[in-house]
Amino acid sequence: MSIDLAVVPVAGLGTRLLPLTKSQPKEMLAVGRKPVAQYVTEELANSGIRRLLFITGPGKASIENHFDIDGELIAYLRRTGREEELAELDFVHQEQMLYFYTRQRRQLGLGHAVLCAKPLVGDQPFVVALGDSMIGRHAQSDIVKRMIAAFERDKRPEEERMVVAFEEVPREEVCRYGIAIPETSGNEFRLRGLIEKPSVEEAPSNLAVAARYVFSPGIFRYLEATKPGRGGEIQLTDAMDAMIKAGATAIGIKLSAEEKRFDIGNFESYFESFLEFALADERHGAALRKRAREILKEFGE
């Protein structure tokens, strides 16, 4: 069976978005008409994922509520004849999705959050999708499907493998991301290693890890052995680098030009994401674009 399980870390505190995220998880922020976590889920569902394991933390209960069936709300909408609003609750494959939740009890970093999935994932390959990043406008991307195909293509049963999504970033931004040490070039390439948030001088490329990964379960062994790294946190990137250096096959796939990564971890990119999704909204976009032109004029633009 093809990979149908994704681990979605959503435990981060969202400190770069205060006060917005004081009592509201950043993954539940609205981007246009839907919260971020729903775009991530829809994107994964469209790539064949059917089981989602969220790694949560304090204050994240609204994510669980969002994906639960709200019988009272449904009954109310039915009773009052609001079929259209009822339809808004649906998305493709929703019926087949299974949701699981576990808590990262200590904030020890992204690598530690993924390690929290080990008792549930066991001995099967899986996807990791960071819950604060959306791929493609309105999540219209099948990058994870392409990554799973690359993971499964000609793989020997005992071979350790990983596939990682990358986007090219301006040189001065490499210090914000995990950066590839590429072995080959092209849209699909081999990796020799990875380095978490290097300085511009140290950076071996401008290919930034873009929040989507596929791993063989062997990654857990490397996560268990990973010491705190950048920022004093247990970094997923460091475990990946160790796994590659121990002989794992590592494949990088570049996002296409239409597959922009929308990161909602800071205000600058959250505002941009909201603006782009709202302006492109099929129902409200046209009116908003008109209004936006007027507002820009008021700003003298």
C-alpha closest to that of 133 among 212, 231, 42, 18 = 212
Minimum separation from the CB atom of position 287 to ligand G1P (A): 32
Q: E-assigned strands of the chain?
A: 5-9, 30-31, 34-35, 51-56, 98-103, 126-129, 133-135, 161-168, 178-182, 188-196, 207-215, 249-254, 261-263
CB of 179 to ligand G1P, least distance (A): 8
- Closer of 77 and 144 to ligand G1P (Cβ): 144
The DSSP secondary-structure symbol of 24 reads S
Shortest spacing between CB 9 and ligand G1P, in angstroms: 9
Rounded to the nearest 10 degrees, the angle between the axes of helix 285-298 and helix 267-279 is 120
The answer to whether 63 and 17 are in contact (CB under 8 A) is: no
DSSP 8-state code for residue 159: -
- Indicate the residue whose CB is closest to ligand G1P: 178
Q: Give the Cα separation of 136 and 255 in Å (integer).
A: 9
CB nearer to ligand G1P: give 32 or 265: 265
Of the pair 77, 239, the CB lying nearest ligand G1P is at 239
The distance of closest approach from Cβ of residue 290 to ligand G1P in the complex, given in angstroms and rounded to an integer, is 34
Q: What does the alpha-carbon distance between residue 144 and residue 127 come to, in Å, rounded to a whole number?
A: 8
Find tokens 């046209």 and name the residue: 286
Q: Which is nearer to ligand G1P, 121 or 236 (CB)?
A: 236
> 17: which DSSP letter?
G
Chain residues that interact with ligand G1P, rule: CB under 6 A? 110, 130, 133, 177-178, 196, 208-209, 211, 235-237, 263, 265
Q: How far is the CB of 107 from ligand G1P (least distance, A)?
A: 12
| Identity of the residue, 153 or 176, whose beta carbon is nearer to ligand G1P in the bound complex | 176
Q: What share of the chain is helix, strand, coil (3-state, %, to 5)?
A: 40, 25, 40
Nearest to 99 by CA among 80, 83, 120: 120
Residue with smaller CB distance to ligand G1P, 53 or 209: 209
Give the shortest CB-178-to-ligand G1P separation in angstroms.
3
Q: How far is the CB of 210 from ligand G1P (least distance, A)?
A: 6
